[in-house]
Amino acid sequence: MIDRESDLVVKLVRSDQSEEECVLKVKGCYIVNKTTHCGDCKSTFQKMKPRSRGKVRTPISLCMRTVLDDSQGYLHDGALLVRCHLEVVVGKVARGQATLDPSPLQELSSALGALLASRSGADVVIKVDGRSLDAHSAILAARSPVFAAMLASPMREGREKEVVIADLEASSVEALLLYLYTGSIGKETLESDASSLSLLQAAHRYQVNGLVDRVAQSLAARFDVATVSEWAQVADLMGCSGFREQCLSFMRQHIAEVQSSDAFQRLAVKHPAILVDVIAALAPPAKQQKKS
């Protein structure tokens, strides 16, 4: 029997007959939502830990009650569609890691990172918090639909190739640029709640969805009853629906402790509308029957 109050879990098990050791690198594991996205629904889900050997089991921050609700869009004719992006390395493994030459993608990432650092051929200036950051319009446009629209417009951004950002931190924009060029994020950025939230805001504003997912997953991994209400408020103000849903899911699971926190009391006063969604997460409203 399915426990409707439990979280969804995906398990990958190695089933080949080879006697050689392998390293399983899981790039991502996503459930497809047919009503909110045409492709992968990445905003809610935790990525599996990389380089797990043999089998990988990961909880996903989505309640089975939500998954089994037809109106949520996760069921496709009664079935779930989960997509996983994997790299499997079979051969010599040393200390849990494969001894491989850099992949073409790693080489590309390193080359673009060097290009960003050198500023060679840069044709765009991003002015933020008293600093000027040089970048390349082709890369910005290819990686962010917001930058693409800006740089193709007849406004100043398009004419003068100058982007002025008034309300973001320079360190967050630098981290955003690093991700746009290399696909990587500095470890120290994700270890800090403040820098993570600031980077999440930047990534959401410029519609860099992959970065939004990674930062949200990092924050969700250290949810706390004392701060989750504040983070739900931040997510609501940013319009970051995926991270907001993760906050509500955690609040539902720990409502007894969360509601006694100071942050929850402030949320109740300043943003009572969010409480409606908290209640709905605890007890989804019954569907109204159609009148004949």
Mean pLDDT for 209-238 is 89
The least confident of 133-142, 151-160, 190-199 is 151-160
Query: Of 51 and 148, which is predicted with more confidence?
Result: 148
pLDDT one-digit tens code per residue, 179-190: 999 999 988 898
pLDDT, position 38: 36
pLDDT, position 43: 34
Mean pLDDT score of the chain, rounded to an integer?
78
pLDDT one-digit tens code per residue, 71-81: 777 777 778 77
pLDDT for residue 41 is more than 50: no
pLDDT for residue 19 is more than 80: no
pLDDT, position 17: 62
Domains of the chain in start order, with CATH, are 7-95 (no CATH), 104-188 (3.30.710.10), 223-282 (1.25.40.420)
Sheet containing strand 131-135, strands side by side = 131-135, 124-128, 162-165
* 66 close to 74: Cβ distance less than 8 angstroms: yes
